[in-house]
Structure 1
Amino acid sequence: MELIQWAFWVLAAAAAGGLLFALLSAMKVRYPSWFGVGHGVLGFVGLIMLGYALYTAGPDATIPQTAYWALGLLGAAFLGGALFFGVVFRQAKPWWVILSHGGLALAGVVVLFFAAY
């Protein structure tokens, strides 16, 4: 399995954790404080893996252009999540922020799927 495919699976796991995170928030269930940090760290690891896979690909590698689009979408979702959830809305998390962050990340994961497979 190539590194870009590993990055997809790590980011898919982070997306599944984010979906669970959103469902717990919607049901107003208390969750551990480390859960949000773990979600962010897993997303960051996947983002670094994807960036490394694209950076180390040789000039003769056949990396689709959509992989770079996925990197941009996922990078924007990560920065938005870190800024909004880590700085601006530390306590009350508005739904428009949750849905925007999740939608952007989901778009990036879907684009990465088509680039990796």
Structure 2
Amino acid sequence: MSAYVILFWVFASLAAGGLLIGLCYTTRVSLPSWLGAAHGMAGLFAVGAFFIVNLLHAPQAGVLAWWSLGAFAAGVVGGLLLFRVLFPGKAPIWSMMMHGSVAAVGLYLLYAVAF
């Protein structure tokens, strides 16, 4: 199993967790306050690991791997700005959808690299 396949499953599990957080938020189900921070920190760790993998395997992966990394990095920075700076208490639904769409683009590009 290549490093890109492992990264794909890591980011897919983070996306599933983010979807669960968003669904619980929209249905007003209370979640632990640390869950959003853990989602963000895991995303930041995964982006760092993705950067290292890209540096080590860049000639084989090509340009799509870097575009995918850029999309995930934009998702992490956007999530930080949207949920910790602009809307620290209750974020609007459109901000969650925007954050998730950027991550979905990154996941789609990573799928093209991994498989």
Do Structure 1 and Structure 2 share a fold, with TM-score over 0.5?
Answer: yes
Letter in 1 for 2:26: A
State the partner residue of 2:31. 31
- Residue 110 (1) aligns with residue 108 (2): yes
Distance 2:46 2:12 in 1: 9
Distance 1:6 1:15 in 2: 14
Which has more helix, going by share of residues? 2
Off by >3 Å, runs of 4+ in structure 1: none
- Structure 1 counterpart SS, 2:60: coil
Distance 1:14 1:22 in 2: 12
State the partner residue of 1:19. 19
RMSD: 1.2
2:60 to 56, 59, 62: 62
The offset of 1:111, in angstroms, is 0.8
The offset of 1:64, in angstroms, is 2.6
Distance 2:67 2:17 in 1: 22
What is the TM-score with the length of structure 2 in the denominator? Answer: 0.94
- Residue 5 (1) aligns with residue 8 (2): no
Aligned residues: 115
Question: Unmatched 5+ residue regions in structure 1?
Answer: none
- Percent same amino acid among aligned pairs? 34
* 1:44-98 per-position Cα deviation (integer Å, ceiling 9, x unaligned): 121111111011226xx41131111100111001100011101110102011111
| 8 Å contact from structure 1 (residues 3, 53) kept in 2 | yes
| 8 Å contact from structure 1 (residues 4, 116) kept in 2 | yes
Question: Unmatched 5+ residue regions in structure 2?
Answer: none
- Structure 2 counterpart SS, 1:29: coil
